[in-house]
Structure 1
Amino acid sequence: MKSASRTVLHAAHGRVMALMLSLATMIAPQEARAHFSYSDPRIIHVTENADGNVEIFMRMPVPLALLPEDWKGNAETRLPPFAVSTGNSAALDVSALDLTNPELAAVLERSLTVQMDGETLQPVLRAFRVWHDSDRPRFGTAKTAIAALENNSEPKPVPYFDATLDIRLALPGINLNRDMRLTSSLGENFQVIEKFGTVVKFHRSEGTETKAIIGVLDVSFPPVTTRLQTLRNAALSGAEHIYLGLDHLGLILLIALAATGWRQALGWASAFTLGHIITLAAGLYGVAPAASWFIPVIEIGIALSIVLAGVAIFLKANSAIGWVSLFFVGLIHGYGFAASAATALFAGDFDPPVLLAFAAGLELCQFAIYALVLPAILIFDRYMPMTPVSWRRAVALGIALCAVFATLSRLSVVSGAFAVA
């Protein structure tokens, strides 16, 4: 446990330093590398059917599954695989969406590789289903995933870059009482993969173990998972949510810059966490709009909250930052997580201890970052020369400017430009 905590602490320190050193580079426009949003995670369920064989249900954006590795994003002139031209855009070719299409079946089977006790296995494709992003059913539990794949409605033309793919894979003769590793090279050459999340739910008779990762898929499950390990994994997921998110790190730095001492900084951080957990839990119970615009709008709200906090510090309006304001900011941030990866991370049989462990991970990671940042701020205060614009105000303004550009980028998502830089 000490090793895991040390890893989280070092990673948090690295992310904080990276944020402070890269303010200028973040402002520069960046080229889009892929045409799908990272707001919606890839969701994977690993289960055993009534015959004792392993089945895998996976949901992901169609472009992640089907685009070639050398796809050039907005600069690409080729028609995507399994697509037909519809003027200035592309739609999935309904005639090609058939299990009898060997090329399509081969592509989908390669979307996931499984290792059991070190032995590499290739899952067999059993079924697949394509949805428009706005029409897809729930997929957060094994039961809803099975129902989505058993839908017998006829496939309809779907815009290629607004499409979701559900697939059902099988591993005959295999059970879950073994060490399992899931890997996939999908999207490894896309810049968007650096922000793309995957949630894997491993359903055993003893219970469900959930792991959430960012980036290229590589996740392992030991033969047996204890209750303590499940809670520890939830806590680590909470910590990762902080130190892997520039939005959260930016807000933590602003709180540290505005606070007059340790107690005030930690109190404000706790108010933020409280709001975050309330809307996270609310989202899990479905108290959130299901429309496709909701996640992008929440993302804009998160970026704007950082802009306003940074400007308030720069203008010396520190009274604008306090328990109440940070509690409401936490509400916005919590809905952002609940609407995407958290829906899958905690969906199914609601387990309050897992959510509390996740919250503990959030809080402990924040405290670890403050333990690194607050002493550094005191040192800077002591040795930085006095100027009309203090270094604290300058850094706050820099963070606010970065958030302005993030806001503009997310506005393009709301307007329908889902090409993510």
Structure 2
Amino acid sequence: MRHQLVRLTILLVLAMTFVGTSALAHFKLNQNVRIFHVVHGLDATDVYIRTPMAYLVADKLGPVGPDGLPAPAPFTINRVEDGVLMHLVDADMFRKERLNLADILADDLVFAVDERRLIPATVMANAYPIGTEPGFATKDEATLALSGPKTFSPSSEDVYVGDTVVDIHIRFVGKLDGTYEISMSANPELDGQDETANLVLDYRGDKIRTYRATGLLHSPIEISGAATSAAITFVIEGIRHIIEGIDHVLFVLCMVIGAATLPALLLRVTGFTLGHTVTLIAGFFGFAPSAPWFIPAVETAIALTIILAAADAVFQRPERAQSNTAAVTVTAAIGLLHGFGFSFMLRNILQVDATNVWQSLLAFNLGVELGQLFIVAMVWPLVVFLRRMPPKVWIGARGVVAVSVSVIAMIWAFERISGVFA
């Protein structure tokens, strides 16, 4: 009995940890995105980059002056609003010295071959208030965006650094064949920077490969030009999507404690992945409602599906072939909802006309399946162990998990439903 209480206490502590985690697992519309178009030529390699301006200047404030404020970062103006220091774009400085802003990125960007860093030359830089920037999803769009200096002409001169994106063209002299690495050395210490979506499109003749990485790129991403290496980056992101998405983890946990056998559990997991794949692709290509209420409605429904899965785990019936088929159908239907949860953000990252989009989406969903199987591998042995103990131990442990998960999901549902009516 004492050991049972210890286990239940651990589960409750884990549940309280989950409650303290943000409920917003999807639709981070303010997600930071950096795009790199790497175009290999005969005598030079051109790199076209789009990045939020904050990544370039946030860590470059000067020393604190007599007024108690730090000196402005390059290309910015300080302003105190309601006692809070805000940073605006110095539009005049940018118009006069735009290439100096490109130099900041060139200093932070590391292109390396065999651990030898290549020296870049800056060619052009343009900046835009968010919402006015031109397309940048393809090589042609990126080339056009940086074909010459564009006037920084916002509707108001007061443009916050956080509301500005910068396009930069740099060039490496010489042909860049084989494998190379891309990394960034700066640490702007921004909220949410660890969720930065980095997209690298590598152009070698008629072969175009798309790579994906999350974070600041302090750890280099290796670009080989091979289809397999590009797909693996999306598999990794699919695994991250499951492992780091608390709502996904809780749902899979409910599937684990609700399945009578391992084959039945694996069928449910695969059913979820199939449903997830269908709506992720459908939402990506625009086959989903675009009304403002749809996103919070899906988020609310996802929270409710977790409660449903928890209830199913507690009130399950003895396993039969027919009930197993029904369970797979239900999890596939729930997967449909969860797929919408990521498709909109992925669409903003990849764009519909990005190259190798089908390969990328399929690789991502393979990662989703692997992420779920990882959770199963971690939890299923504990479930088997508890089921071998006296029945009251397993029933109690399962009940504690289901109730804890349901409480968390109910909190999320109340938080999210307000967005539907808003």
TM-score by length of 1: 0.72
Relative distance call for 1:106 and 1:231 in structure 2 (3 A) is closer
Aligned twin of 2:153: 155
Aligned twin of 2:282: 282
Determine which of 121, 124, 129 is the counterpart of 1:127.
124
Distance in 2 of aligned mates of 1:294 and 1:186: 38
Aligned twin of 1:85: 79
Relative distance call for 1:350 and 1:197 in structure 2 (3 A) is closer
Deviation per residue, 1:253-279 (Å, 9 max, x gap): 122123333343223322321222223
Are 1:362 and 2:368 matched, yes or no? Answer: yes
Give the % identical residues.
22
Looking at both structures, which has the greater relative contact order when contacts are Cα pairs under 8 Å and sequence separation is at least 6? 1
Relative distance call for 1:104 and 1:136 in structure 2 (3 A) is closer
Which AA in structure 1 matches 2:332? F
Q: What is the Cα deviation at residue 376 of structure 1?
A: 1.9
Aligned twin of 1:392: 398
Q: What is the Cα deviation at residue 167 of structure 1?
A: 2.1
Which AA in structure 2 matches 1:85? R
Helix, strand or coil for the counterpart of 2:59?
A: coil
TM-score by length of 2: 0.72
Aligned twin of 1:238: 238
Which AA in structure 1 matches 2:79? S
Counterpart contact for 1:200–1:212, Cα < 8 Å: yes
Distance in 2 of aligned mates of 1:77 and 1:240: 39
Deviation per residue, 1:152-197 (Å, 9 max, x gap): 4543146526524132232231323133111113446446233333
Deviation per residue, 1:6-49 (Å, 9 max, x gap): xxxxxxxxxxxx9997433343479xxxxx97634322221235
Deviation per residue, 1:302-329 (Å, 9 max, x gap): 762465346635874899x944553343
Aligned twin of 1:66: 57
Q: What is the Cα deviation at residue 219 of structure 1?
A: 3.1
Distance in 1 of aligned mates of 2:288 and 2:298: 14
Which AA in structure 2 matches 1:115? A
Determine which of 380, 383, 404 is the counterpart of 1:377.
383
Distance in 2 of aligned mates of 1:124 and 1:295: 45
Distance in 1 of aligned mates of 2:391 and 2:18: 27
Relative distance call for 1:45 and 1:265 in structure 2 (3 A) is same
Aligned twin of 2:169: 169
Kindly report which structure 2 residues correspond to 1:88-103, keeping only aligned pairs within 5 A, or say none. 88=82, 91-98=88-95, 100=97
Aligned twin of 1:55: 46
Counterpart contact for 1:247–1:302, Cα < 8 Å: no
Helix, strand or coil for the counterpart of 1:376?
A: helix
Which AA in structure 1 matches 2:344? A
Counterpart contact for 1:123–1:169, Cα < 8 Å: no
Unpaired segments ≥5 residues, structure 2: 1-9, 23-27, 63-67, 318-322
Q: What is the Cα deviation at residue 369 of structure 1?
A: 3.1
Aligned twin of 1:258: 258
Distance in 1 of aligned mates of 2:308 and 2:109: 43
Q: What is the Cα deviation at residue 366 of structure 1?
A: 2.4
Are 1:312 and 2:311 matched, yes or no? Answer: yes
Distance in 1 of aligned mates of 2:129 and 2:289: 17
Relative distance call for 1:176 and 1:261 in structure 2 (3 A) is same
In terms of mean alpha carbon deviation, does 19-28 or 232-241 score higher? 19-28
Helix, strand or coil for the counterpart of 1:177?
A: coil
Which AA in structure 1 matches 2:165? L
Counterpart contact for 1:296–1:410, Cα < 8 Å: no
Which AA in structure 1 matches 2:55? L
Are 1:110 and 2:107 matched, yes or no? Answer: yes
Higher Rg: 2
Relative distance call for 1:43 and 1:274 in structure 2 (3 A) is same
Distance in 2 of aligned mates of 1:161 and 1:203: 31
Helix, strand or coil for the counterpart of 1:383?
A: coil
Alignment RMSD:
4.4
Helix, strand or coil for the counterpart of 2:208?
A: strand
Distance in 2 of aligned mates of 1:115 and 1:108: 15
Q: What is the Cα deviation at residue 69 of structure 1?
A: 7.1
Query: How many equivalent pairs are there?
Result: 386
Which AA in structure 2 matches 1:326? T
Counterpart contact for 2:258–2:314, Cα < 8 Å: no
Unpaired segments ≥5 residues, structure 1: 1-17, 31-35, 417-421
